[in-house]
Amino acid sequence: MESYNSFTTAKRQISEAAKILNLDEATLQLLSEPQREFTFSLHVKMDNGKTKIFRGYRIQYNFARGPAKGGIRFHPDETIDTIRALACWMTWKTAVVDLPLGGGKGGIRCDPKTLSQRELENLSREYIRAAAPFIGVDKDIPAPDVYTNPQTMAWMMDEYETIVNNHQPGVLTDKPTQVGGTLGRRDATARGGVITVREACKNLGVDPLSKFAVQGFGNAGQRAALLHHEILGGGKLIAVSDSRGAIYNPEGFDSNELVTHKLKTGTVLGFPKSKQIAHEDLLELDVDILYPAALENAISKDNASRIKAKIICELANGPTTPEADIILNQKGIYVIPDILASAGGVTVSYFEMVQDKYSFFWDESTVNQRLDQKLTTAYSRVHEAIKEKKIHPRLAAMVVGVARVAEACKLRGWV
């Protein structure tokens, strides 16, 4: 399979949107590069008494609409270009759902699976010691991402508060509720995606109770499987996959039992009445709705022509390459792009920021209701752009997001 540079892909998407919006060259240049980049050398004392050096990053892509917002990843293959791309996409994601935020992303090149709990805590605190001057509730608000979680955020928040000698729970989001986290955050990304699927089914006349598949059965994938039934009223889950393999049953799986099996065994493999299939075969199954919830570039020009789903809901970041987008659009497959489909997470993170500022917290039904309203409105605006500009959904979402950021840049006098 051909390899892709995620940031090259992201810049290509910006250029395509800029042409439709007739943006001037200065604005295009401003939107095509991060406003700030930081690289850190992190010195961590390991359990064996030795010090190990890790490389950390924080990219603050754009501040025109508000402080930067985006996750922190712990991954052995982390690259600066991947983080640039993700920070870029976060900029459009916050704009598409009309949040008063910019885009950012961070990461540490490490293999968290080889680190003890104490080493993970030391690494998390060291990252904040390096990044503290550049983050804050009105500067840049990180959150979890790949291989980080609410516990990571609690350590980081505590370290930041120690440094500034002040209570600042809103400096990081997706924290445990006991230290300023919000209800409704655990399933927010998946819930937002399923809400957009609901709206797409209405517009396209697709039966939401038919077959669907989930690629990537981590947090977002598991919750999408559960929420598909809750929000859409049913549906038949016939295939799922995780890093160890993929399973299939044309008669459908019980989502609750499958999630329990995954949490108990660490994999979907071995689930009763399932047949193991190749990872790539899952994407090409005859389903109406497909949820890619794994890593980047899963759908490329190599396999796009064989995909049969009517609706693809991108819960992962960048799962579809630009070449694949064109092929899927020509086939009449409706892609709900990641900057819309997975925006539920950052939306509820924003709700958490608001609640932290006021020290007043909402019940879960209020969070879910406001998330539904935000995502439904955002989906409607993107769908309007599809019809107005006669363009495919990803480009329409980019046009909506880029237009809002470009307008903020012009109003500020940056261009």
**178 near 151, Cβ under 8 Å?**
no
Instruction: Reply yes or no on whether the pLDDT at 1 is more than 60.
Output: no
Same-domain check for residues 236 and 154: no
Task: Give me the number of domains the chain comprises.
Answer: 2
What is the average pLDDT across 131-142?
A: 97
**Which of residues 156, 179, 202 is at a domain's end?**
179
Same-domain check for residues 295 and 397: yes
| pLDDT-derived band at 72, boundaries 50, 70, 90 | very high
**108 near 34, Cβ under 8 Å?**
no
Position 8: which residue type? T
Render pLDDT for 20-51 as a digit per residue (tens, 0 to 9): 999 999 999 999 999 999 999 999 999 999 99
Same-domain check for residues 243 and 317: yes
**How many other CB atoms are there within 10 angstroms of residue 112's CB atom?**
17
The answer to whether residue 15 sits within a structural domain is: no
The answer to whether residue 13 sits within a structural domain is: no
Catalytic residue selected from 11, 105, 236, 310: 105
- How many whole angstroms separate alpha carbon 290 and alpha carbon 308? 9
Same-domain check for residues 85 and 173: yes
Same-domain check for residues 333 and 188: yes
The answer to whether residue 21 sits within a structural domain is: no
Same-domain check for residues 80 and 208: no
pTM (2 d.p.): 0.93
What is the average pLDDT across 73-92?
A: 94
What's the domain range around 281?
A: 182-357+364-415
- How many whole angstroms separate alpha carbon 54 and alpha carbon 39? 11
Contacts of 399 (CB under 8 A, 6+ apart): 17, 20, 21, 385, 389, 391
The answer to whether residue 368 sits within a structural domain is: yes
- What pLDDT score was predicted for residue 293? 92
Render pLDDT for 246-295 as a digit per residue (tens, 0 to 9): 999 999 999 999 999 999 999 999 999 999 999 889 999 999 999 999 87
Measured over the CA atoms of residue 84, residue 88, residue 91 and residue 94, the dihedral's sign is: negative
Same-domain check for residues 407 and 270: yes
The answer to whether residue 202 sits within a structural domain is: yes
Same-domain check for residues 190 and 60: no
Place of tokens 């237009």: 403
Percent pLDDT > 70 in the chain is 99
Instruction: Reply yes or no on whether the pLDDT at 2 is more than 60.
Output: no
Same-domain check for residues 175 and 190: no
Render pLDDT for 183-218 as a digit per residue (tens, 0 to 9): 999 999 999 999 999 999 999 999 988 999 999 998
- How many whole angstroms separate alpha carbon 271 and alpha carbon 23? 52
- How many whole angstroms separate alpha carbon 393 and alpha carbon 314? 12
Same-domain check for residues 269 and 396: yes
Among this protein's residues, is 105 annotated catalytic?
A: yes
| pLDDT-derived band at 4, boundaries 50, 70, 90 | low
Q: Which two tokens stand for residue 145?
A: 């991402």
**Which of residues 179, 209, 243 is at a domain's end?**
179
- How many whole angstroms separate alpha carbon 411 and alpha carbon 99? 17
Q: Which two tokens stand for residue 413?
A: 């006098």
| pLDDT-derived band at 161, boundaries 50, 70, 90 | very high
